[in-house]
Amino acid sequence: MTADILLVARAAGGEYEPVGFLDDDPALLGLRFLGLEVLGRISDLQKVTHDAVIVAIGENQTRARIFHAMVARGERIVNAIHPSAVLARDVVLGRGVMICARVVVNPTTTIGDNVILNTGCTVDHHNVIGSHAHVAPGAHTGGDVRVGDGVFVGIGAVVTPGRTVGPWAIVGGGAAVVRDIPPHTTAVGVPARLVKQHDT
């Protein structure tokens, strides 16, 4: 998906042109996706001519770990923003943010590093979305919502205005968050209820 965003953005005059993928699955080596080759493992990055990277992994903990490794290496980390996304003029974006097709981000919102805003989700005014979070397709956050680092907001979930979802929490698909969600918990249902505590 990230490669497609970059290719569509490039065709629309965007700055970045993807050169290929790196993946630790040896079965993918040499295969092509969207016309771009899997060039090697992530550890092979120094062998690939490049001027920037973006970490395109859906699972938050893995994406965070690799993102921090890239930062430690001094890599330039860029954003992938689909041309159909609508971002208010004062939205603040971190590094390595992926914003998919038809996403809307409203005014006075801050998006942290290494965040995925997936297809058709909406992030309303005065939100703070923490680093390494993933807001899944069709999910919506109301005004003045706080989404902590590493949070996963599932497909079609709704976080109502003024609510906080604590770091590394999981909001299940289709859930309606009407009360704050503590860190390191999983909440599901309408209204969302806590069903699990986890360490990460």
∠ CA(194), CA(150), CA(171), 5° rounding? 30
Q: What per-residue confidence (pLDDT) applies to 19? A: 95
Distance separating alpha carbons of residues 123 and 121, to the nearest angstrom: 7
Query: What CATH number does the domain located at 80-187 have?
Result: 2.160.10.10
Q: What is the pLDDT of residue 194?
A: 96
The tokens describing 8, both together, are 């569509």
Please, which residues bridge with residue 193 across strands? Answer: 188
User: What residue segments make up the domains of the chain, in order of their start?
Assistant: 2-72, 80-187
Do 178 and 195 touch, CB atoms closer than 8 A?
no
pLDDT along the chain (200 residues), means of 10: 94 93 96 97 95 96 98 98 98 98 98 98 98 98 98 98 98 98 98 91
- Please give the pLDDT value at position 199: 80
Q: Is 198 one of the catalytic residues? A: no
The pLDDT of residue 1 is 85
**Which residue of the set 125, 126, 140, 184 is catalytic?**
125
**Would the pTM of this model clear 0.95, i.e. be above it?**
yes
Question: Cα(61)–Cα(126) distance, rounded to whole angstroms?
Answer: 26
Q: How many CB atoms lie within 10 A of CB 43?
A: 10
